[in-house]
Each structure stands twice: as C-alpha cells, then as structure tokens.
Amino acid sequence: MSHLRTYVLLAVLTAIFGVVGFAIGGSGGMLLALVLAAATNVFTYWNADKIVLRMYRAQPVDGSHPSGAVRRYAQIVEQLADRAGMPRPVVTIIENDQPNAFATGRDPEHAAVAATTGLLRMLDEEEIAGVMAHELAHVRNRDTLTMTMTATIAGAITTLANFAMFFGGNRENGGGNIITSLAMMIFAPLAAGIVQMAISRGREYEADRVGAEILGRPEALASALAKIANGAARIPNRTAEAHPETGQLMIVNPLSGRGADNLFSTHPSTQNRIERLLRMAGAGVRRERAGPWG
C-alpha cells in the first residue's frame, strides 16, 4: 500500500470524525470535532506508544529478567535489529495467555516491541525470531505510527458516536431523531473499522515480506503465524476485546475467537499470508544461517 493511499485513508477517518460532530452539534459541532481530531493526531504522535503499552500492561525487559525465555526473546530482538541496521527498540513483555505480538512508536528511534507470555510458550526460538522480524519490519516501514494513530482516531469516533446517542444530537439536522442517533452510533464506528481494515491489511503483507527478508527464513514466520492464529482462536485476549480498535496492531487478529469479527478483520487471511511466505521460501529467500537460533 502506498503512503499516499494511507494518508488519504487517514483523512477519511478525520472526515468521519467531523461528520459525527456535525450530527451532534451542527456546523459548530463539526468544527469542534475537527479541532479535536487534529489535537488527537498531535497527542497520538507523541504519546500513542505509551498509551498502548500501558493499556496492555507491557513491562520492559532486558538481559537481567529472571525468566530465561524472556531474556532469550530480548536477545533475539536485539540481534535482529542489529542485522537490519536499525536502532534497538524497547523490548517489552505482556502477561497474557493468548499468543500475539505488536510494535509501536512514532519512528525507529522511538519504537517498542511487545510479545505475550503465551507467544513465548507456544513458539520455538526460530518462530519467535520470525515474529519479531515482522514487528521490526513494521518499525522500519513506519507503520507503527500510522496504525496506532488509526486505532486512536477510530476509538475516538466510537466514543463520539455514543455521545450522539446519549445527548440527542443536532435537531436542526436530524441529529435529535432517535433513529438518526442509532444509525450514527452503529455506522460511524463501522465506517472507521472499514478504513482501519483498508490501511492495515496491505501493511501486514508488506511486513511479512520485509520481516522474512530480515530473518532470511520465510518458513519460520509462516509456521509461527499458523500457531498464533490457532492459539488466538482458542484463547481470548480480554484487553483487546475491551479495546477492539487496537486489534490491528497485533500480528494476528486478537479477536478471531469471535467469528463475527472476521467479516471486517483488519488482518488478511492467515492462510494467504502463509502461502505467500512459503512461495518466498521456495524462491530462495534464505540466509545461510538465520542467526544463533537457526
């Protein structure tokens, strides 16, 4: 997905924010909503990574962590960042049984990666390396800022749409009608979710490709995706369910255990991703030695 398309879709999200504001308070409400959207973007640029990490209770880790598995995970991230010629991100761990991971931060110099304890238990070292190479690809491509911003704006749209229901909306423009308010409460978040989907899906494919090149073992990431998708379908992630707008940050949809979420999933089909990676492996995208874990 080109950067131009991403910027257009971010503008669409901002426009949705303005439409909801108009439904609540007419032209004045729309202007206020657009000002809030701009303020949200500025605030998100500087603080979104901290917000998301705090939301998931992610804890920084290093080589002194008491868990050997966590220490090894931190070492793998550092080795991959060095190999990719990138600044080393802050490495964090999340106490959660669902296997998953994400990256966040406004640029490669201010990035963090997070993995769940469930992921470390489920995957072997090469598969963990495949996942973290994918997350570093998001950092290199500067997807982390875009995806976190869309998650924040989409969450704000949902909150604002709920205000339209509870506060009656702008009567001069039909906002005071209960049907109009209900429609706004339903369709504004839905529209925001579709925009999130359009932004996220292309970026996941690209991060798979770049991550596979960083590691040099596409099949390792393919194997990891299969295990993570199976685990996410069986094990709920309560934080993600409470904040579904953050689901697009994860390597696999954390809401996939609820079948209805797949209709507008921000992630492409896991099977399609695996098939692409295996084609890369068949085409010879491989290093002689992927790393100490290879």
Q: Which of 246, 208, 213, 210 is nearest to 226 (CA)?
A: 208
Rounded to whole angstroms, how far apart are CA atoms 185 and 221? 39
3-state secondary structure of 290: coil
Q: How many residues does the chain have?
A: 294
Nearest alpha carbon to residue 204 among 105, 277, 257, 292: 277
Task: Please give the structure tokens belonging to residue 253.
Answer: 């949809």
From 242, 241, 268, 264, select the one nearest 254 (Cα to Cα): 241
The question of whether 135 is a catalytic residue gets the answer yes
Ramachandran quadrant class, 94 (left: phi over 0; alpha: psi -120 to 50; beta: rest): beta
Nearest to 105 by CA among 113, 96, 117, 97: 113
Strand 111-116 to strand 90-94: parallel, antiparallel, or no bridges (unpaired)? Answer: parallel
Task: Give the residue among 102, 115, 68 at the shortest CA–CA distance from 203.
Answer: 102
Q: Answer whether 24's CB lies under 8 Å from 164's CB.
A: yes
Q: Which of 125, 126, 127, 135 is catalytic?
A: 135
Residue with tokens 């605030």: 43
CA distance 191 to 279: 34
Catalytic residues: 135
